[in-house]
């Protein structure tokens, strides 16, 4: 009920390609779904987030797609760049509670 | 604005020893979190504070871990005695609004 399941565990994409990372959740009370980006030796940083009243949110090259009925959401990185190489975490929570994180996806963008 | 400050950045101790980590959140952030991040995994909540009160400590191993936030600002997390499985990065985060967490760079703990 409290898990957030993330896939794939790792991803290799060519420069200019599209990176797609998926997450699934069980708790229908969750109402906030962020994606965090983490570089080695640094703490996670908020990348983009969505609430279930919309199906898609886009910020620059980053897009979240949200499917409430399937209880799934995904991160799309368009025109992937070597600087996007990092670990990405999906997360979810309901108001007032702490974020629950997925296990992470290590993205490598080859030049 | 200054970010979340954590110290030390690295700590190496032997099992059964004790260790303490310190966190200074972003000014004005009432909510403070301690997360444990084991290598290759996502952050796992240990404890959540709202001002100086505990909101959620359900996943804190209370036989060995303790945390406090006495004046509603700085916080310390202590492990006593440490076990090999406690090797991890301990992340502190603070938030003004629910869900928007600002993380520090963590303390990497190695247990020998």
What pLDDT does residue A111 have?
87
List CB contacts (< 8 A) between A102 and chain B: 42
| B39-59: pLDDT as tens digits | 999 999 999 999 989 999 999
CA dist A73 and B88 (Å) reads 28
Question: From the CB of residue B9, how many other CB atoms can be counted at a distance below 10 Å?
Answer: 12
List CB contacts (< 8 A) between A93 and chain B: 98-99
Strand A105-110 versus strand A33-38 pairing type: unpaired
Asked if the Cβ–Cβ distance from A99 to B99 is below 8 Å, we say: yes
CA dist A27 and B95 (Å) reads 22
Average pLDDT score over residue span A40-56: 95
Phi, psi of B51 (to 5 degrees): 55, -120
Strand B75-79 versus strand B19-24 pairing type: antiparallel
Asked whether residue A1 carries a pLDDT value surpassing 70, the answer given is: no
| Cross-strand pairs, A10 | A106
User: Per-residue confidence at B109, pLDDT binned at 50, 70, 90?
Assistant: very high
Instruction: Pick B45's closest partner by Cβ from A41, A42, A98.
Output: A98
CA dist B34 and B23 (Å) reads 9
Average pLDDT score over residue span A88-98: 93
CA dist A17 and A81 (Å) reads 8
Are A51 and A32 in contact by the 8 Å Cβ rule? The answer is yes
Instruction: Pick B103's closest partner by Cβ from A34, A45, A96.
Output: A45
Three-state DSSP state, B86 = helix
Return mean pLDDT, chain A.
Answer: 96
8-state DSSP, A84: G
CA dist B67 and B78 (Å) reads 6
């Amino acid at each position: 009920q409290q898990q957030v399941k993330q896939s794939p565990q790792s991803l290799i994409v060519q420069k200019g390609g599209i990176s797609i990372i998926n997450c699934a959740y069980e708790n229908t009370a969750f109402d906030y779904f962020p994606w965090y980006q983490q570089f080695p030796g640094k703490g996670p940083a908020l990348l983009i987030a969505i609430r279930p009243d919309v199906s898609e949110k886009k910020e620059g090259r980053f897009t979240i797609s949200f499917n409430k009925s399937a209880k799934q959401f995904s991160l799309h990185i368009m025109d992937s760049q070597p600087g996007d190489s990092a670990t990405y975490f999906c997360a979810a929570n309901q108001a007032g509670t702490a974020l629950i994180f997925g296990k992470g996806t290590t993205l490598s963008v080859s030049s | 604005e200054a970010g979340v400050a954590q110290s030390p950045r690295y700590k190496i101790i032997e099992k059964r020893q004790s260790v303490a980590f310190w966190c200074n959140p972003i000014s004005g952030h009432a909510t403070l979190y301690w997360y444990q991040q084991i290598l290759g995994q996502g952050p796992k909540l240990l404890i959540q504070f709202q001002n100086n009160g505990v909101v959620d400590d359900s996943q804190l191993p209370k036989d060995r871990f303790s945390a406090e936030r006495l004046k509603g600002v700085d916080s310390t997390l202590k492990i006593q005695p440490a076990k090999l499985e406690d090797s991890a990065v301990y992340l502190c985060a603070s938030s003004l609004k629910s869900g928007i967490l600002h993380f520090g760079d963590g303390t990497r703990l190695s247990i020998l």
